[in-house]
Amino acid sequence: MSNRVKKCPKCGFWNDEFAYFCEKPECKESLMNVAAVNIDDTSQEKETGFRYNDKPQTSKKGQLPDNVKNTYTKHLPNAEARLECLSQPGFAFKVFDQGIIGRQGDIDVSCLENCLYISRLHACFFLAEGKWYLQNLSETNKTMVNNARVPHGFRQVLSDGDRITLANSSFLFRVMNQ
């Protein structure tokens, strides 16, 4: 389980790190420009800043409090990997088996400033026999893993910490629960 959250600047609610909007039903404030922070970095502030349920419930180290985990985020709950945007820090995207990344993909990167250079359906992630793969779907815009070009239609094995470049945007591939 991730130990990062986003705090709503309007109501103070602690949201999932991948939330695009505040998950408090009465608020729904945009979190597009809010960077996720480690839960450990917010523990002091939570005692006074958590407004939805007064204060967070206790949890084991490395886990989100129960009242933060039970949110309304629209993402697949069993995602095992994520992309952290290096070109635009503060943005991260959940990765899942057969998830297509692009401006119109399942993993939608249209919120990024330079997204126009990323294809609508740029690349696809696959999970097979415990290994992650990235397949390049773009014929025109480059796809690279650790500065090595992935030819159109080819798959590249991914490891935790690999740098993925789609057109002019770079991401850090992170495998969760290793």
**Listed residue (135, 96, 141, 133) closest to 114, CA to CA:** 141
Considering the domain architecture, whether residues 9 and 64 belong to the same structural domain is answered as yes
* 152, part of any domain: yes
- CATH (domain of 101): 2.60.200.20
DSSP-derived 3-state class of residue 53: coil
Backbone angles phi, psi at 29, to 5 degrees: -65, 145
Considering the domain architecture, whether residues 165 and 87 belong to the same structural domain is answered as yes
The residue among 147 and 25 whose pLDDT is bigger is 147
- pLDDT digits over 62-98, tens only? 344 444 333 333 333 344 799 999 988 888 999 988 8
Considering the domain architecture, whether residues 91 and 161 belong to the same structural domain is answered as yes
Considering the domain architecture, whether residues 106 and 170 belong to the same structural domain is answered as yes
Question: Residue 63 sits in which domain range?
Answer: 4-69
H or E stretch including 107? strand 107-108
**Listed residue (109, 87, 103) closest to 18, CA to CA:** 109
**In the chain, pLDDT over 90 holds for what percent of residues?**
36
Give the other-Cβ count within 10 Å of 29's Cβ: 15
